[in-house]
């Protein structure tokens, strides 16, 4: 294998263990075929969980329950129907759910059950490359699921501009990034899968339910409303909704983006560090 | 203890056990010796009363497994080929809870579990998770567990496969102690040394049938010669040379790296070979072992 | 060694069930965090949908009576959490124990039978489920979401729902061969959860065939049963629901036994 030594490791990718010296890009590219086979094996399952489930939610909550809710823009953050209100939030929280599911059990599997990470590390690949490719795969899942979803929803007439949904999609992808890296970091440290049950019950479910996806967080009362504002998902829901509904407050957009990008960067560093420590022993 | 007549087991069209007769008496150590796929485990599972008999007759402890399954199982100890430990319980609870499955009362269960931990030499691991045990410890725990109900009959399916030599010897010691204590043992194995060490009597199984039966000594006497002369010549010469010395033993077997001449007097064979002007690179005269019997009866090609 | 002089007689079904429950108890004792948090999920749903979304909705009609949205959703959460819990226990957990842990194989090496295993697992699931349901009912009562003493009967109703689904789901699980098959379970679970008049009245389906189809599904029966009991608006529909669920559970149990015999006793 042709590898040059030393030289091109930039400060941000300072090797935590000898990396050979693949560039980050090369490190990911070499795992392309591996992840392609994973995708071929598992995409069918993704159809149900990443596509049908949210669609059912849209029909049940948006259409059927929404039929009983008055479309008052003052009470629905500018949306003219409950459906238009709930869809952008649902898709954003869905991006979180996929990102979390794909970075929990699969990460533990690669460490503990199939030990794929160990096998991959026995090659010139470095820990950083493993994290990059893994997160890349998760993000492919998130981005494709959200894109398909937004396309299917379009005929329901819930979008007001053509560019709104595209920016909303990018916000959903950003939500995915933040959660994929943070949860990867969490999973890399976990010794037993019991921790995932807790993560879903105390993390994912409350976030889905209380981050403004189903109702305006102002309904929570002043104290809880502020707590909701601190959650990462709320930033994503709010971004996604502003773009879909077409009432954009650009300063708020900037805040949301900064928060989500910061979380992603922190999550990535933690993920690489934690995985490195975990695979050491 | 066990009596089988024309016992059969089929899985769909495939017949794994093709009519075998077996008789196991109280207090003896009985072995099923055979290559992979011979039908040993299938037979053991029928004896353990968890696998319905497809044909023939089977009585265990005088009862019929089809109707008295729970009663039979209550008096058996079973150590399956694959460890089936309860990974969600710790080591002690594996023994304790398993004992409770037999309806043994709490106090006795606790006491027995403690004793068996000692027996298996894993007392200090009592609170450990099963996952954290080594392969040898797991196997010893499985065997200890199979003893919780003080069984009359202990079934061990390949008890030492996959263990390192130390762990095997520890296990053999323990099984020997059980045998001394009067427990009837039924063991399957594909290790000759194990069969010779542990079994009073054994059957060699191949492709679902019994190929031979007897004590290890009887089997060697019946199916092999007293000694074997191993002759090593240059690479590629063996085939041709075999014809020249065919008459020197009861049987000559050609292997890629040597010739095996089966004869009661190995030294004489070697002398005769040299007399004929042949010059082996190396020679070795040894006693016949169960392995020779085994390979003779089940062939050298892989079964699966 | 302490010799057990007489061989204990094979366990009675009741004793066998007790031992299997003991085994699960010993395992879950250490997983108390999971046990406690399991109770939170329906409460979260109640607060989020019932109260958060409820502020956008005035009242719903149920059997001609106007009731606030939270009171409408709460009993549905009680029923669906019994359903979800039973489903999780008897699909994922049973599959894992059967295929990966080989737990039932070791049990069958003892005097236990497949019938004991089916009863033991389902009983354990029901015991866990009833603790959750009871806790949820208390929360409902404290929030003033129960309207009559009939509500006390919602606890056995929830247990009945759990029983019916446990038995059927366990039967279905015996046909599964890989984790991929669980997508099919999700495929049944999500529509049941979302469309059994859980979050909106059955009238949303109109008056046509669709409504009748929904009324014939098991979770809908469970939801209206709980809703009639907690709101105190009891009709003959409750009787239908009870019979429906009992029959469903009995059939499930029967099939489970047959299938376990076939699968494990090879
Ligand atoms: N449950 C089963 N279904 C189908 N075939 C089986 C089953 N169990 C064993 N067999 C087949 O029966 C034959 C004998 O297997 P087994 O009794 O496990 O042999 P051994 O223990 O001697 O290695 C093998 O060819 C195996 O593939
Ligand atoms: Mg075998």
Give C84→chain B minimum CA distance, Å: 23
Annotation: CATH topology of B226-287: Alpha-Beta Plaits (3.30.70)
> Mean of the pLDDT values across residues C221-249?
93
Length of chain C: 266
Question: What is the reported pLDDT for A83?
Answer: 92
Q: Is B2-220 assigned to CATH 3.40.50.720?
A: no
Question: What is the reported pLDDT for A231?
Answer: 92
Report the complex ipTM.
0.85
Question: What is the reported pLDDT for B304?
Answer: 55
Question: What residues in C contact B75, CB-CB < 8 Å?
Answer: 7
How far, in Å, from the CA of C118 to the mean position of ligand 2? 28
Of B51, B97, B102, the CB nearest to C111: B102
Residue B29 near residue B200 (C-beta atoms within 8 A): yes
* Matching residue, tokens 């009359």: B152
Give the model confidence (pLDDT) of A84-106 as tens digits: 999 999 999 999 999 999 999 99
Sign, CA torsion C164/C166/C168/C171 = negative
Of B11, B73, B93, the CB nearest to C109: B73
Inter-chain contact C2–B115, Cβ cutoff 8 Å? Answer: yes
Mutate to test the pocket of ligand 1, among B12, B37, B303 (most ligand atoms within 8 A of CB): B37
| Residue of higher predicted confidence among C58 and C69 | C69
Instruction: Show which subunits contact A, needing at least 3 CB pairs below 8 angstroms.
Output: C
Give C6→chain A minimum CA distance, Å: 42
Q: What is the dihedral of CA A17, A23, A29, A34, to 10 degrees?
A: -10
> Mean of the pLDDT values across residues A122-137?
88
**Rounded Cα gap, residues A15 and A37, in angstroms:** 28
Domain extent listing, chain B: 2-220, 226-287
Three state DSSP letters for chain A: CCCCCCCCCCHHHCCCCCECECCHHHHHHCCHHHHHHHHHHHHHHHHHHHHHHHHHHHHHHHHHHHHHCCCCCCCCCCCCCHHHHHHHHHHHHHHHHHHHHHCCHHHHHHHHHCCHHHHHHCCCCCHHHHHHHHHHHHHHHHHHHHHHHHHHHHHHCCCCCCHHHHHHHHHHHHHHHHHHHHHHHHHHHCCCCHHHHHHHHHHHHHHHHHCCCCCCHHHHCHHHHHHHHHCHHHHHHHHHHHHHHCCCCHHHHHHHHHHHHHHHHHHHHHHHHHHHHHHHC
Question: What residues in C contact A205, CB-CB < 8 Å?
Answer: 40-41, 44
Say which range, A135-144, A238-247, C1-10, has the weakest mean pLDDT.
C1-10
> Checking DSSP bridges between strand B201-206 and strand B209-214, what pairing results, if any?
antiparallel
Question: What residues in B contact C264, CB-CB < 8 Å?
Answer: 50
Mean pLDDT by runs of 10 across the 304 residues of chain B is: 92 91 92 89 92 91 88 90 88 92 90 91 90 87 91 91 81 87 90 85 90 85 84 81 80 83 86 84 85 78 58
Question: What is the reported pLDDT for A272?
Answer: 94
Percent of chain C with pLDDT over 70: 96
Domain extent listing, chain C: 35-264
> Looking at the predicted structure, is the pLDDT value of residue A4 above 50?
no
Q: Which residue(s) pair with C65 in the sheet?
A: C62
> Looking at the predicted structure, is the pLDDT value of residue C8 above 80?
no
> Checking DSSP bridges between strand B259-263 and strand B184-189, what pairing results, if any?
unpaired
**Rounded Cα gap, residues A105 and A30, in angstroms:** 23
Per-position b or e across C184-196, b if 16+ CB within 10 A of its CB:
ebbeebbbbbbbb
Question: What is the reported pLDDT for B271?
Answer: 86
**Rounded Cα gap, residues B82 and C105, in angstroms:** 11
**Rounded Cα gap, residues A244 and A80, in angstroms:** 12
Q: A266 lies in which domain range? A: 20-69+76-279
> Mean of the pLDDT values across residues C177-198?
87
Ranges A12-21, A115-124, A164-173, B127-136, most confident: A164-173
> Mean of the pLDDT values across residues A123-146?
90
Question: What residues in A contact C199, CB-CB < 8 Å?
Answer: 60-61, 64-65
> Looking at the predicted structure, is the pLDDT value of residue C4 above 50?
no
* Matching residue, tokens 């017949």: B15
Inter-chain contact A65–C48, Cβ cutoff 8 Å? Answer: no
- pLDDT, chain C, mean: 88
**Rounded Cα gap, residues C173 and C185, in angstroms:** 9
Give the model confidence (pLDDT) of C204-222 as tens digits: 888 889 999 999 999 999 9
> Looking at the predicted structure, is the pLDDT value of residue A2 above 60?
no
Question: What is the reported pLDDT for A26?
Answer: 82
Percent of chain A with pLDDT over 70: 92
Per-position b or e across B183-199, b if 16+ CB within 10 A of its CB:
bbbbbbbbbbebbbbbb
Question: What is the reported pLDDT for C41?
Answer: 86
Question: What residues in B contact C22, CB-CB < 8 Å?
Answer: 97, 100
- The structure tokens listed for C229 are 């009991």
How far, in Å, from the CA of B48 to the mean position of ligand 1? 15
Of A48, A214, A220, the CB nearest to C186: A48
CA distance readout (Å), B149 to B95, B103, B104, C23: 10, 9, 8, 17
Mutate to test the pocket of ligand 1, among B8, B39, B206 (most ligand atoms within 8 A of CB): B39
CA distance readout (Å), A180 to A140, A205, B292: 11, 16, 61
How far, in Å, from the CA of B11 to the mean position of ligand 1? 8
The DSSP line for chain B is: -EEEEEEEEEETTEEEEEEEEEEE-TT-EEEEE--TTSSHHHHHHHHTTSS---EEEEEETTB-HHHHHHHHHTTEEEE-SS----TTSBHHHHHHHHHHHTT--HHHHHHHHHHHHHHTT-GGGTTSBGGGS-HHHHHHHHHHHHTTT--SEEEEESTTTT--HHHHHHHHHHHHHHHHTT-EEEEEES-HHHHHHH-SEEEEEETTEEEEEE-HHHHHHHHS-SEEEEEE-STT-HHHHHHHHGGGSSEEEE-SS-EEEEES-HHHHHHHHHHTT---SEEEEEE--HHHHHHHHH-SS---
Residue C162 near residue C121 (C-beta atoms within 8 A): no
- What's the number of CA atoms in the CB half-sphere (13 Å) around residue C210? 9
Q: Which residue(s) pair with B3 in the sheet?
A: B23, B59
- The answer to whether C263 contacts chain B (CB < 8 Å) is no
Give the model confidence (pLDDT) of C104-153 as tens digits: 988 998 989 888 998 999 998 898 888 888 989 999 999 888 888 999 99
| Residue of higher predicted confidence among C242 and B173 | C242
Give B204→chain C minimum CA distance, Å: 24
Residue B44 near residue B155 (C-beta atoms within 8 A): yes
Q: Which ligand 1 atom is nearest residue B43's CA?
A: 17
Percent of chain C with pLDDT over 90: 38
Give the model confidence (pLDDT) of A176-233 as tens digits: 999 999 999 999 999 888 889 889 989 999 999 999 999 999 988 889 899 999 999 9
**Rounded Cα gap, residues B262 and B285, in angstroms:** 10
Give the model confidence (pLDDT) of C30-43 as tens digits: 777 777 888 888 89
CA distance readout (Å), B229 to A53, B136, B286: 73, 37, 7
Which residues line ligand 1 at a C-beta cut-off of 6 Å? Answer: B 11, 14, 16, 34, 36-42; C 266
- The answer to whether A234 contacts chain C (CB < 8 Å) is no
Instruction: With CA atoms as reference, report the closest residue to B141 among B157, B118, B109.
Output: B118
Question: What is the reported pLDDT for A14?
Answer: 52
The burial of C28, by beta-carbon neighbours within 10 Å (0-12 exposed, 13-18 middle, 19 or more buried), is given as middle
Residue C206 near residue C229 (C-beta atoms within 8 A): no
Nearest chain C alpha carbon to B46 = C266
Instruction: With CA atoms as reference, report the closest residue to B179 among B209, B212, B201.
Output: B201
């Amino acid at each position: 294998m042709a590898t040059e030594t030393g030289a091109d490791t930039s400060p941000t990718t300072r090797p935590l263990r000898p990396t050979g010296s693949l560039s980050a890009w090369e490190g990911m590219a070499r795992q392309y075929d591996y992840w392609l086979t994973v995708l071929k094996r598992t995409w069918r399952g993704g159809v149900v969980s990443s596509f049908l489930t949210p669609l059912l939610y849209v029909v049940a909550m948006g259409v059927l329950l929404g039929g009983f809710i008055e479309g008052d823009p003052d009470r629905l953050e500018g949306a003219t129907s409950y459906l238009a209100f709930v869809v952008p939030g649902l898709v954003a929280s869905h991006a979180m759910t996929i990102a979390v599911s794909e970075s929990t059990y699969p990460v533990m599997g690669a460490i503990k059950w199939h030990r794929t990470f160990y096998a991959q590390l026995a090659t010139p690949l470095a820990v950083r490359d493993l994290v990059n490719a893994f997160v890349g795969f998760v993000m492919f899942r998130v981005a494709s699921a959200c894109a398909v979803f937004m396309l299917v929803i379009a005929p329901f007439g819930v979008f007001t501009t053509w560019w709104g949904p595209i920016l909303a999609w990018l916000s959903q992808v950003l939500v995915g990034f933040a959660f994929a890296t943070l949860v990867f970091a969490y999973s890399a440290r976990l010794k037993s899968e019991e921790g995932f049950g807790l993560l879903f019950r105390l993390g994912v479910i409350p976030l889905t339910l209380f981050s403004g996806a189903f109702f305006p967080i102002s309904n929570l009362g002043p104290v809880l409303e502020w707590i909701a504002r601190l959650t990462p998902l709320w930033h994503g829901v709010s971004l996604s909704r502003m773009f879909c509904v077409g009432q954009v407050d650009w300063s708020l957009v900037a805040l949301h983006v900064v928060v989500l990008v910061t979380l992603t960067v922190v999550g990535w560093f933690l993920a690489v560090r934690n995985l490195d420590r975990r695979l050491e022993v | 203890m066990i009596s089988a007549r024309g016992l059969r087991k089929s899985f769909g069209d495939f017949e794994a056990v093709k009519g075998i007769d077996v008789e196991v008496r109280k207090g003896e150590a009985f072995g099923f010796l055979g290559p992979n796929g011979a039908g040993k485990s299938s037979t053991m599972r029928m004896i353990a009363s968890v696998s319905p008999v497809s044909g023939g007759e089977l009585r265990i402890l005088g009862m019929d497994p089809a109707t008295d399954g729970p009663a039979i199982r209550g008096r058996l100890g079973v150590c399956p080929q694959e460890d089936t430990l309860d990974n969600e319980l710790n080591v002690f609870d594996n023994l304790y809870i398993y004992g409770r499955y037999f309806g043994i009362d709490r106090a006795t269960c606790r006491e027995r579990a403690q004793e068996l931990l000692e027996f298996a030499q894993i007392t200090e691991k009592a609170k450990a998770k099963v996952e954290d045990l080594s392969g040898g410890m797991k196997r010893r725990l499985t065997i200890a567990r199979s003893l919780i109900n003080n069984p009359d009959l202990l079934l061990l399916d390949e008890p030492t496969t996959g263990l390192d030599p130390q762990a095997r010897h520890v296990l053999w010691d323990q099984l020997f102690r059980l045998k001394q204590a009067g427990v009837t043992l039924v063991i399957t194995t594909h290790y000759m040394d194990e069969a010779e060490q542990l079994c009073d009597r054994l059957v060699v199984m191949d492709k679902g049938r019994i190929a031979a039966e007897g004590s290890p000594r009887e089997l060697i006497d019946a199916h092999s010669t007293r000694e074997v002369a191993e002759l090593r010549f240059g690479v590629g010469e063996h085939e041709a040379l075999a014809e020249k010395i065919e008459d020197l033993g009861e049987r000559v077997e050609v292997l890629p790296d040597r010739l095996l001449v089966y004869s009661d007097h190995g030294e004489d064979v070697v002398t005769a070979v040299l007399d004929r002007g042949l010059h082996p690179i190396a020679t070795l005269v040894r006693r016949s072992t169960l392995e020779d019997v085994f390979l003779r009866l089940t062939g050298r090609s892989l079964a699966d | 060694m302490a010799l057990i002089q007489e061989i204990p007689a094979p366990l009675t079904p009741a004793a066998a069930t007790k031992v299997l429950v003991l085994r699960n108890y010993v395992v879950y004792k250490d997983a108390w965090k999971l046990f406690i948090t399991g109770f939170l999920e329906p409460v979260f749903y109640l607060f989020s949908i019932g109260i958060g979304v409820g502020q956008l909705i005035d009242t719903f009609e149920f059997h001609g009576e106007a009731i606030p949205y939270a009171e409408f959703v709460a009993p549905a959460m009680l029923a669906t959490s019994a359903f979800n819990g039973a489903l999780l226990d008897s699909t994922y957990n049973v599959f894992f124990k059967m295929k990966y842990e080989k737990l039932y194989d070791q049990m069958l090496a003892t005097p236990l039978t497949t019938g004991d295993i089916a009863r033991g697992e389902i009983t354990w699931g029901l015991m866990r489920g009833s603790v959750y349901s009871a806790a949820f009912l208390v929360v409902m009562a404290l929030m003033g979401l129960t309207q009559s003493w009939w509500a006390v009967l919602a606890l056995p109703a929830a247990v009945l729902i759990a029983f019916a689904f446990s038995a059927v789901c366990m039967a279905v699980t015996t046909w599964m061969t890989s984790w991929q098959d669980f997508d099919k379970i999700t495929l049944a679970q999500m529509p049941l959860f979302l469309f059994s008049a859980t979050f909106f009245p059955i009238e949303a389906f109109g008056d046509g065939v669709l409504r009748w189809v929904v009324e014939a599904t098991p979770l809908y029966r469970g939801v209206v049963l709980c809703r009639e009991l907690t709101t105190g608006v009891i009709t003959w529909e409750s009787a239908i629901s009870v019979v429906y669920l009992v029959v469903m559970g009995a059939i499930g149990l029967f099939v489970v036994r047959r299938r376990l015999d076939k699968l494990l006793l090879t």
